[in-house]
A = this chain, B = another copy of it.
Amino acid sequence: MATVKLIQVKEDILADNSQAATSLRGDLRRKGVFLLNLMAAPGAGKTSLIRETAAQLSKDLRLAVMEADIDSTVDAEALIQSGVHAIQLHTGGLCHLDAAMVRQGLAELDLSAWDAVILENVGNLVCPAEFDTGAVKSVAILSVPEGDDKPLKYPLMFQTVDAVVVNKTDYLSLAAFDLIAFGDRVRRLNPMVPIFEVSCRTGDGLKPWMDWFQSAVREWIRG
């Protein structure tokens, strides 16, 4: 049956990928470069969070961005217009990035020029969670209009990340989003994960996120 075939091959690929990811992380460690894997559903605000992070931290960190999409270059273009060094990867229709694709992308950047690279994964709460990209840390963004039930429906995403960002808190007055219920659902999957409540539009709540990101980079670079 078609389904069984897919699962079988996926297991092989996941094992190959896990090795490739570990090897990539080793290279990043030797080169002293931090890599963040940023995941979210379409439209949750991945590019906006990257833009804000780059704007606020660019005086302290040399930061580059790899945008991944099925198609288009709109995100990389928007970042470049904001003065961020960004390149665009196309996945050839695939719904996620694997470590080999990330290594290919990183080869296009001169790693000695950067302290940290942010990888914006394909907009998707399912597939990206299954593939170790080789990143040092992974983060999931959930935006308020998407609803507080998402950890129930996409548990692997919330289980595997090192931090969760709730974006678009400026929509809280319009949306029926229960921050406490959301936090409980996330922590049932991932008890110690930090959750940052932010609005990339208004700038609210971004400071704790910036502190977390900067600490994670420094800890990695210091080795």
Interface residues of A (CB under 8 A from B): 1-3, 5-7, 9-10, 12-13, 16-17, 20, 41-43, 69-72, 74-75, 92-95, 98, 100-101, 122-127, 130, 143, 145-147, 149-150, 152-156, 168, 170-171, 174
**What B residues does A71 contact at CB under 8 A?**
152-155
CB contact between A1 and one of B100, B124, B150 (< 8 Å): that residue: B100
Choose among A130, A156, A174 the residue with the greatest number of B CB atoms under 10 Å from its CB. Answer: A174
**What B residues does A149 contact at CB under 8 A?**
72, 74
Complex CA gap A153/B88 in Å reads 12
- 30 of the cross-chain contacts (CB-CB < 8 Å) are A2-B17, A2-B20, A2-B98, A2-B100, A3-B92, A5-B9, A6-B13, A7-B92, A41-B41, A42-B146, A42-B147, A42-B150, A43-B145, A43-B146, A43-B150, A69-B153, A70-B126, A70-B153, A70-B154, A71-B155, A72-B152, A74-B153, A93-B156, A95-B95, A122-B126, A124-B125, A127-B127, A143-B145, A145-B145, A145-B168
**How many protomers of this protein does the assembly include?**
2
**What B residues does A41 contact at CB under 8 A?**
41-43, 123, 146
Q: How far is the CB of A125 from chain B (nearest CB, A)?
A: 5
**A171:B154 contact, CB within 8 angstroms:** no
Choose among A20, A70, A74, A155 the residue with the greatest number of B CB atoms under 10 Å from its CB. Answer: A70
A74-B149, A147-B43, A149-B74 as given contacts; A95 in contact with B124, CB under 8 Å: yes
CB contact between A95 and one of B74, B127, B147, B171 (< 8 Å): that residue: B127
